[in-house]
Amino acid sequence: MVNETEKIGASGSVVDENRGRDDARQQPKKRGTCVETSMAELKNQVEGLEGLGSEFESMREDFRVAFNTLSGDLKRKIHDLRDSF
């Protein structure tokens, strides 16, 4: 049995896994704080993305207006050129 444990320990799977569980049990507040910090960071990122979304919507609307204006101007120029021949 000792040899089997040593083999498992040498691979790092069971021993490291148990060590991680022990750390989580011994320091639950630290783990909870990390989760809260991660949630706060995610919330900030989502709010930032939402802000970018509204900026992009505004830019898209500005582009649409400019495109429509330019296409109207171009159509008038083409019409004027046709009339001149």
Contacts of 24 (CB under 8 A, 6+ apart): 31
- Determine the pLDDT at residue 18: 60
- Determine the pLDDT at residue 52: 83
Put simply, whether the predicted model's pTM sits higher than 0.85 gets the answer no
- State the average pLDDT over residues 10-15: 54
For the stretch 33-72, pLDDT in tens is 677 778 888 888 888 888 888 888 889 999 999 999 999 9
- Determine the pLDDT at residue 20: 58
3-state secondary structure 15-72: HHHHHHHHHHHHCHHHHHHHHHHHHHHHHHHHHHHHHHHHHHHHHHHHHHHHHHHHHH
